[in-house]
Amino acid sequence: MERRRHCVAAAIALVCAVTALAAPGTAFAAPAAPAAPMVPAALTAPAEPVPPGPPGGARPQQTLEQIRLEIEGLYHQAVSATDAYNLAEDQVQRQSTEIVELGQEAAKAQDRIDDLKQRAGATARAQYRGGGLPPEAQLLLTNDPQLFLDGANRFRQGQKATKDLLREMEQTQQELDSYARDASTQWRKLEENRLKQAKARKEIAAKISAAEKIEARLKKEEKERLLVLEREAAQRAQASWLASGALKVARGAEGAATEQGKKAVAFATAQLGKPYEWGAEGPGSYDCSGLTSKAWEAAGITVPRTSQEQWRQLPKVDIKDMRPGDLIIYHADASHVGMYVGDGAIVHSPRPGRTVTITGAGANKILGVVRPGG
């Protein structure tokens, strides 16, 4: 019993500690870079970025286009790490809540055990007042037949009550031990996910810093030329997507937007111009999935926090059937998401250094389309 009480105390102590440990990591934003000029729906961000070159920034032999691709690659990796950070943070919050609930249930179980012990003590005291003899011995010593029969009935009732009491104490103690084990398991998972958060945070900061160092070495005219190259790449990507016929097919379904879909689009487009910030869910800044999850939350529907979980959990639809409010998932690793607004365009929060904007749905390589709310 002493060992079990220590186990219970440890489980309850988790409740006290969880407040400090459950606090989500503090997100920090990359220093704001000049926002890309607003472009028509037919102009988009570049296609899926290629992996960056060796660390250390731009090299003299690199062309400006190669530098652009390297910067885009670094930001893409930062955005991918952001999805890992957001998932770990979401899991930390859920596990923290579970630990608190387990601690509360453990406290209730301990209260039941204390009550059962008091009842058992009352039974022992009653036996003591009866001369210390067990009930069956007292019954055998009586020479009154009626008292014997009455006593026999009370003895059977008392025996059953005692067995029920012991059984309830045993079951409650097992529950208490189970709560302690579950709390310990959740605690380990909590710590594992906090480590994942810290790792992702470091990776995000490193990738953003590397991209910023490359940009800082460029002259003003080179930075301006980079924006031109970005817009030109966007035009090529969107033109290729339009040539596939996807937009022409999709237009037939655009009038099918639901009321909830319209509310989600209205919320997302109201955030235009707000900066990208990794891990942010508004109201002043957003990352890509922070924008889409909050937009659908405003429409009364809860969707997963990360683009990867949105892709994994939400119903998938064909591009030809997409309608405003649907979420378009990008890249092979499902690391980016935008909300379709109709006429071949999306609203999204692109990457560090950019703001929430409307751009072409063909901005990046489309993995697929998912639909919140059915």
Q: Is there a catalytic annotation at residue 336? A: yes
Q: Tokens representing 42?
A: 């037919």
In the sheet with 327-330, reading across from the earlier edge strand, the strands are: 316-317, 366-370, 327-330, 336-342, 345-348, 357-360
Single out the catalytic residue among 7, 76, 288, 331. Answer: 288
**342 sits in which H/E element:** strand 336-342
**Distance between CA atoms of 86 and 91, rounded to whole angstroms?**
9
Backbone angles phi, psi at 338, to 5 degrees: -135, 165
Q: Where are the beta strands (DSSP E) in 106-240?
A: none
Q: Is there a catalytic annotation at residue 348? A: yes
**Distance between CA atoms of 327 and 265, rounded to whole angstroms?**
10
What is the identity of the amino acid at 336?
H
- Cβ count within 10 A of residue 3: 8
The secondary structure of 58-122 as a DSSP string is --TT--HHHHHHHHHHHHHHHHHHHHHHHHHHHHHHHHHHHHHHHHHHHHHHHHHHHHHHHHHHH
Single out the catalytic residue among 7, 76, 331, 348. Answer: 348
**Distance between CA atoms of 148 and 26, rounded to whole angstroms?**
75
Active site residues: 288, 336, 348
